[in-house]
Every structure is written in structure tokens, then in C-alpha cells.
Structure 1
Amino acid sequence: MEIKQIHHVAYRCKDAKETVEFYTKNLNMDFLLAISEDKVPSTKEPDPYMHLFLDAGMGNILAFFEVPNSPPMGKDPNTPDWVQHIAFQVEDEAALLEAKAQLEANGVAVVGPTNHEIIKSIYFFDPNGHRLELTTVTATPAMLQELHDIAPAMLEEWSKTKKVVTHASWLHEKEFKE
């Protein structure tokens, strides 16, 4: 098997229209299409839904489902808010700062930029409570190669100890000193 790319990633939304408006206004995504049915095609379950598709650029599609007959959306209470998120890449640091200014002008609370040494990122939430990240790559090829080379050893050590593995601690040394 050879995966060509991710076709789409789908999340649940509280309100289809509000979600489309947020992503088109704040992230300049095009609203591609909507599908609505009384039954789920794969399972044949009776469960009316609205399925939305937004263009996240370069063939990447972000999708949402509004399922009004299901219990209200919730979050896994055992997973911290910062863990599950969608990250979108922007061209450069200037574009990242411009996006931050646009989001804040639209009333969106933004955290960052955060320097991860190989990327710089800002963070915010969509109206559904999904955490979003805008990021730009700042890594050199040598940095990425070093991280690639140490990844297996880090994973093996973590797997055995479940304790912080410091092989890549240089990534956030500056951020934690500030």
C-alpha cells in the first residue's frame, strides 16, 4: 500500500454555518461542498447530518459533521486541551504574525508566537472548541536530520521508562528561559 496524501480529516461541529463562517473569515478557506443525508452511508444508521468540506490548501481538506440528534459535543476530560489540535502551515514568520493580527482583529484570542526552534506557532480555538495551530517552519535541514536520527532511540527509551527523554531538549531551551 502507498498512501498518496490525507484526503480529509473530519471533526464534529456544533453549528455548520457558524463553523464555515469561522474558517472562511479567519483562515481564508474556501467552502468546497456540503453533503446532507438522513442515513449514514457506511452503516445505514438513521442519523441526519450535515457534512462540510473546506479547502485547507494544496489538496488538504478539512471536514466537519453537524449531527443534531446526537448528545451535545463534549471533550475527553482526561485529555488536556493542548493535546488534540489541527496545525496549518503558513509561508513564513511574517505571514504568521499577519495571521495573528487578523485573528485578534476578528476577536479571536491567540496564544503565541511560541518558538519551538524548528517551527514557530500561534494557537487559538474554533467555535467548536477545537484547538488550532498556525505554524511556520524555521528548521534547517541539519536540525530535521538530527531529530529524525534520534527519534528511534527516544521512542525506545520512552517506551521503557515513560519518563521525559532529553535528546531533543534543545528545541525549547530558549522558550523556557524567557
Structure 2
Amino acid sequence: MTVPHLKRIHHVAYRCIDAKETVDWYARMLGMTFTTAFAEDKVPSTGEDDPYMHVFLDCGGGNVLAFFELPNQPAMGRDASTPAWVQHIAFEVEDEAALLAAKAHLEAQGVDVLGPTWHGVFKSIYFFDPNGHRIELAANIGTAEQYAELKRVAPLMLEEWSRTKRAPRHAQWLHEEPKA
């Protein structure tokens, strides 16, 4: 048996409340380009009678974010057992200046934005789309040496976490924000 060789993520799909509102919001707030729409009355993979609109947005770099509007399904919700900060979609921006510009743009559009939050090798801002999905914009600020060290200690950290269920401190420097 051969393990598949993956090229990239083709698309990631989420549910939305209103496909048009979602497409318009992502174009206006994040500059994404609406590229494709599929609409069916029957689900091709299962044959179920369940009309839907499936929209695709170009996020840049060959990345595609997609949404399904499902008008005959119960109102969408979220996993009540998972904190709202856990499930999110993260997009990379060019640098810290672009992150701050994005924050200003979003806030000028009336979006509540949290951050920037320092994560050692990147800074992020957080906000919610009109469907309740948490969105993160991240700007990398780490050095090549820091990323190499994180890769080196990743297996050690995962092994320790598996045993203890407590945060390993193999990369303690990540938790010490530099003084300005």
C-alpha cells in the first residue's frame, strides 16, 4: 500500500447562514475573490434530497475557502463542548504592519477585533465572521533559528504532553514576551 502524496489542501469547507452575505463579507473584509459556485437539489455523493449552495473563495497562494448554505437543515450551531477560541480559520499576512493595517480596516468596518496577541514566533488578531466562525490573521515574526528549534522540540513536547497533559516547557522562550 502506498501512502498518498498530497499536493496541498484543495479547499476547506464550512457552513454559512447566507452564501451571498458570506461571499460579500469575505471580499469586503479580507479581499478574497469569489471564484466558483455549485448549487444542487440533491447531494451528489449521497443522493439525498438536500438543496445547497456551495461557494468558493480564493484566499491567495492557491488556498481556497468554501462555504455551504443549507436552507433545509436546522439552524447552524457550534460544538458547545469546545471553547469558541479553539475552532478557527487562520490566514497569514505579509508582516506586522499588514496585520495592524488589517486590524484598522476591520475595526473601521465595525468588526470587533482582539489583539494583536504575541505567540513567540507570530502575532495574531482575532475576530468573527457573520456566521460565527472565528478568524485569525497571523504575521510571522520569528527567525529561521527559532522555527528550526520549534521543529526540533516538537516531538519531545508531544511526547511529554501525551504522558502528563500539562504544557511542556521545551521552548520556554516562546512564553517570555520581549520587553519593549
TM-score above 0.5, yes or no? yes
Tell me the alpha carbon deviations over residues 108-155 of structure 1, each in whole angstroms, 9 at most, x when there is no partner: 000011111201110000000000001111110110111111111111
Partner of residue 127 from structure 1, selected from 119, 123, 130 = 130
1:156-171 matches, within 5 Å, as 156-171=159-174
Question: Is the partner of 1:95 in helix, strand or coil?
Answer: helix
Determine if contact 1:115/1:172 at 8 Å carries over to the other structure.
Answer: no
1:14 aligns with 2:12: no
Q: Which has the higher helix share?
A: 1
Could you tell me how far 1:4 is from its partner in structure 2? 0.5
Could you tell me how far 1:58 is from its partner in structure 2? 1.0
Structure 2 unaligned runs (5+)? Answer: none
In structure 2, C-alpha distance between the alignment counterparts of 1:122 and 1:3, rounded to whole Å: 30
Tell me what 1:26 maps to. Answer: 29
In structure 1, C-alpha distance between the alignment counterparts of 2:13 and 2:89, rounded to whole Å: 11
Aligned length: 177
Tell me what 1:151 maps to. Answer: 154
In structure 1, C-alpha distance between the alignment counterparts of 2:156 and 2:55, rounded to whole Å: 41
Tell me what 1:79 maps to. Answer: 82
Could you tell me how far 1:70 is from its partner in structure 2? 0.7
Partner of residue 96 from structure 1, selected from 94, 99, 105 = 99
Alignment root-mean-square deviation, CA = 1.4
Tell me what 1:112 maps to. Answer: 115
Could you tell me how far 1:173 is from its partner in structure 2? 2.1
Could you tell me how far 1:99 is from its partner in structure 2? 0.5
In structure 1, C-alpha distance between the alignment counterparts of 2:9 and 2:18, rounded to whole Å: 25
In structure 1, C-alpha distance between the alignment counterparts of 2:169 and 2:72, rounded to whole Å: 47
Identity of aligned residues (%): 64
TM-score by structure 1 length?
0.96
In structure 1, C-alpha distance between the alignment counterparts of 2:55 and 2:67, rounded to whole Å: 5
Structure 1 unaligned runs (5+)? Answer: none
Could you tell me how far 1:19 is from its partner in structure 2? 0.5
Tell me what 2:63 maps to. Answer: 60
- Which 4+ stretches in 1 moved above 3 angstroms? none
Could you tell me how far 1:161 is from its partner in structure 2? 1.4
